[in-house]
């Protein structure tokens, strides 16, 4: 399916067309997985953590342009932040960082928030936290 690109602003378009940190981390400390209940699109977020801080993250997202842009900017937003700090990131923060999403695409940013909290939960569970 051809993605309609008209409604996206330049920031969204840049992250959609040139996603940052796309791919896997083979020796990730945790992988968070999420499926958007609205459309079924999915995201996997790989994180590396040192001293409770995210030092690297990458993503694989099977979804629309807004989902890919949300995933991409989320990997930039969380770099260097503590796990507690990233858990405070909400989908609206992702939308704001992108400079807004079309109303029909707002739900796409939820995928990033869900994958993020899942990754932290997996990491803490592995650590016995």
Q: Which residue has the tokens 């930039």?
A: 76
In angstroms, what is the minimal distance from the CB of 3 to ligand FES? Answer: 10
For residues 55 and 49, what is the distance between their CA atoms, to the nearest angstrom?
6
64 interacts with ligand FES by CB under 6 A: yes
Per rule CB under 6 A, count of chain residues that contact ligand FES:
10
Count of beta carbons in the 10 Å neighbourhood of residue 126? 10
In angstroms, what is the minimal distance from the CB of 103 to ligand FES? Answer: 12
95 interacts with ligand FES by CB under 6 A: no
- Cβ atoms of 98 and 15 closer than 8 Å: yes
Is 39 one of the annotated active-site residues of the chain? yes
- Cβ atoms of 80 and 56 closer than 8 Å: no
Of the candidate spans 17-25, 45-53, 63-71, 93-101, the one that interacts with ligand FES by CB under 6 A turns out to be: 63-71
For residues 83 and 2, what is the distance between their CA atoms, to the nearest angstrom?
37
39 interacts with ligand FES by CB under 6 A: yes
Catalytic residue among 17, 39, 55, 104: 39
Q: Which residue has the tokens 């994180």?
A: 47
Report the candidate in 93, 23, 86, 32 with the shortest Cα–Cα distance to residue 60: 23
**For ligand FES, which is the closer residue by CB, 67 or 89?**
67
67 interacts with ligand FES by CB under 6 A: yes
Which member of 66, 73, 83, 116 binds ligand FES (CB under 6 A)? Answer: 66
């Amino acid at each position: 399916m051809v993605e309609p690109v008209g409604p996206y602003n330049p920031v969204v378009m840049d992250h959609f067309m040139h996603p940052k940190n796309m791919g896997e981390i083979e020796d990730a400390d945790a992988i968070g997985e999420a499926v958007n209940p609205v459309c079924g699109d999915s995201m996997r977020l790989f994180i590396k953590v040192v001293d409770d801080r995210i030092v690297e993250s990458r993503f694989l997202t099977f979804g629309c342009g807004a989902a890919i842009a949300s995933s991409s900017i989320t990997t930039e937003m969380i770099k260097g932040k503590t796990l507690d700090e990233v858990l405070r990131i909400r989908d609206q923060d992702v939308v704001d960082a992108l400079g807004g999403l079309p109303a029909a695409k707002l739900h796409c940013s939820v995928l990033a928030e869900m994958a993020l909290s899942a990754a932290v939960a997996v990491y803490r569970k592995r650590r016995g936290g």
